[in-house]
Amino acid sequence: MKIAVYILVAVVGTMFIGVGASAAGTPKGGSIRVYVVPGNGQGNGTIVVVGAIGDYGKTTKQAGGFGKVLLHKGSFEVNLKAINKALNNAKPLVESRATCTFAFSATAPAALSNGTGAYKGISGTLMVTETFAAYGPFYASGAHKGKCNTSNNAKPTAQWGAVTGVGTVTYP
């Protein structure tokens, strides 16, 4: 009889501990950090979100200045208009026509909205930083042979990019 009572107490105690951990383990917001490896062109990248949101997934191409984050537990939109403007006005951090290399970076706020799934009702703002570096092509022939091709239609020979963000979110 004593053993049955001990087992019952242990099971009930575990149930209450489990309820407390479950409630405490499901934040309704807080600080987050995002890490994105951009895809080819805008969007189509991979993303990891840490902090109050622990999830991962994909990013989509922009439509009307908004990108969508598709995570395993839900999705939300990101207003990328300010970071796009900042990138368009960014001055190169490093630029060398002799080596045909460049790097640039920009930081701007990005509001989150239109959540689905676990992120339904999400709101908040991230400070997003986008950084890019590339090794450009040299002209192979013609009057500019051997010089760096800096035209808008030149495709980099090699490129690297990263997007990070930090901020606070809330969701019901």
The pLDDT of residue 40: 73
The pLDDT of residue 21: 33
**Domain parsing of the chain, residue ranges:** 28-170
The pLDDT of residue 171: 85
The pLDDT of residue 16: 31
Phi/psi at 22 (5° precision)? -65, -45
Cβ 114 vs Cβ 145: under 8 Å: no
Label residue 90 exposed, middle or buried (CB < 10 Å: 0-12, 13-18, 19+): middle
Please name the residue that has the structure tokens 């987050």. 32
Kind plus residue range of the DSSP H or E element containing 78? strand 74-79
Q: Write the DSSP symbol of residue 151.
A: S
Mean pLDDT of the chain: 84
At 79, the amino acid letter reads N
Tens-digit pLDDT profile for residues 137-168: 999 999 999 999 988 788 899 999 999 999 99
| Rounded Cα–Cα distance for residues 73 and 43 (Å) | 19
Tens-digit pLDDT profile for residues 124-145: 999 999 999 999 999 999 999 9
At 61, the amino acid letter reads K
pLDDT in tens, the chain (172 residues): 434 333 333 333 333 333 333 345 556 889 999 999 998 766 789 999 999 999 999 999 888 999 999 999 999 999 999 999 999 999 888 789 899 999 999 999 999 999 999 999 999 999 999 999 999 999 999 999 999 998 878 889 999 999 999 999 998 7
